[in-house]
Amino acid sequence: MSALGIDYGGTHTKLLLVDDGGAVLARETVPTGTLAELGGAAGRFIDASPTPVRSFAVTVAGTLDPSNGVVGRSANLPWLNGVAPAELLSEQLAMPGVAVQDGEAGAIAEARFGAGRGSGDVFVIVLGTGIAGAHVLKGSVHRGAHGGAGEIGHVPVADNGVRCSCGQRGCLETAIGGQQLGLRWSERGAERQDSNARDVVEAADAGDEAAVAVLDDAARALGRAILNVSAVVDPALIVVGGGVARSPEWTVEPAVAHARTEATFHVLPEVKLASLGVWAGARGAAAVAADVLARAGAAVNRG
Ligand SMILES: [Zn+2]
C-alpha cells in the first residue's frame, strides 16, 4: 500500500508516492492547474502506481484552518480561498485525504527524513521571502494551543528599527527575509533597486561593503533568533533551510558563531542545514497522508 503527497505549488505541482515504510516509490512534476485538473493529474499518477494508493495529503501555500481544512487565503492560488481542497480531491480520487500547510509539510519532511532524521525533537527555520518556523516533535508539528507556535520570523531580534508587516519593529523577517535583504541594502545606498537576497549575496561576494554589512546584520539577527529558540523551546536540533540558507557562509554559519558568542545560560543545540531541497513539501505531505491512514486504521481497530 502507498500514500500520495501532493505539493500544490504556484507554478508546478509535485506528486510523490511512498510505501508503508516511507520509501519513495515514484515522483512526477506537473504544471499547476485548477483543483479539477490537479485531481485528473493525481488520478493518472495513482493509476500508474505499482501498489494500491490508500490516502493523500495536499499542501496549501497560505493560511489553513486545521480543524476543517478550509483555506483562508492563498496568494498564489486564489481559487483555493474559502475552499476545502482535500475534501474536493477526496471525492474525485475516492480516498481519504487532508490538507497541510506547505511550510508544515516541508518541516515535517526535514525533521523526519532530512537533516533532522533520527532526532525526534527538531525546530525547523525556513528562510524565504517570509520566515517560517515549526517545532516538529516525534514527526508532528507542535502548533500550540491557538495554532500560533513557531512564528520565529516575528520575534524582534534586529536593531534596525524597521517596522515589520506584523506591526512590530525589528522582527527577524525585517533583517533576513529575501526581499527585506534587498530593501536593507537599498537603505545602505545600493545603486540597484528591487534587488533580492541573491543579488545581495553576489554583491557581498564581490566585496560590496554595504551588502556585507546587511548580511552581517542578518546573521546577527538570526543568531539571536537561534538563542531565543533554545531559550524557549530547547530543541535537540535546529535545521535551517530556504533560499537564503543556500549561502550559509553569509547567513547560517556566522549566525551560529554569533549565537555561540552571545550565549550566556543557553544550551545551544546543533544547527544543521536542511537537506531535502525542493521535494521536501511533497515528501512531508506523503508522510502526513500515511499518518491519516494509520490513524484511520487505529480508529477501526479500536472500534
Ligand atoms: Zn513581524
pLDDT tens column, 42-94? 999 999 998 999 999 999 988 899 889 999 988 889 999 999 999 999 999 99
Q: How far apart are CA 219 and CA 249, in angstroms?
A: 10
Asked whether residue 110 is assigned to any structural domain, the reply reads no
Asked whether residue 51 is assigned to any structural domain, the reply reads yes
Centre of ligand 1 to C-alpha 211, Å, is 22
Mean of pLDDT over the chain = 93
For residues 255 and 294, membership in a common domain is answered with no
Asked whether residue 80 is assigned to any structural domain, the reply reads yes
Contact status, residue 125 vs residue 133, Cβ threshold 8 Å: yes
Rg (CA), the chain: 20
Asked whether residue 48 is assigned to any structural domain, the reply reads yes
Asked whether residue 109 is assigned to any structural domain, the reply reads no
Query: Domain containing 60: what range?
Result: 2-101+278-302
Centre of ligand 1 to C-alpha 241, Å, is 19
Contacts 24+ apart (CB under 8 A), 130-136: 130/173, 130/177, 131/172, 131/173, 131/176, 131/177, 131/242, 132/103, 132/107, 132/242, 133/229, 134/103, 134/104, 134/107, 134/108, 135/233, 135/235, 136/107, 136/108, 136/110, 136/111, 136/112
DSSP 8-state symbol, 303 = -
Asked whether residue 107 is assigned to any structural domain, the reply reads no
CATH number, domain containing residue 170: 3.30.420.40
Asked whether residue 106 is assigned to any structural domain, the reply reads no
Q: Would strands 121-127 and 237-241 be described as parallel, antiparallel, or unpaired? A: parallel
For residues 131 and 246, membership in a common domain is answered with yes
Centre of ligand 1 to C-alpha 74, Å, is 19
pLDDT tens per residue, range 154-170 = 999 999 999 999 999 99
For residues 143 and 25, membership in a common domain is answered with no
Centre of ligand 1 to C-alpha 28, Å, is 36
Quick one: cell of 297? 486504521
For residues 235 and 292, membership in a common domain is answered with no
pLDDT tens per residue, range 213-244 = 999 999 999 999 999 999 999 999 999 999 89
pLDDT tens per residue, range 248-284 = 999 999 999 999 999 999 999 999 999 999 999 999 9
For residues 142 and 6, membership in a common domain is answered with no
For residues 271 and 283, membership in a common domain is answered with no
Centre of ligand 1 to C-alpha 10, Å, is 24
Per-residue burial over 200-216, b = 16 or more CB atoms within 10 Å of its CB, e = otherwise: bbebbeeebebbbebbe
By C-alpha distance, which of 50, 39, 36 is closest to 6?
Answer: 39
For residues 204 and 75, membership in a common domain is answered with no
For residues 52 and 153, membership in a common domain is answered with no
pTM: 0.90
Number of compact structural domains in the chain: 2
Centre of ligand 1 to C-alpha 247, Å, is 23
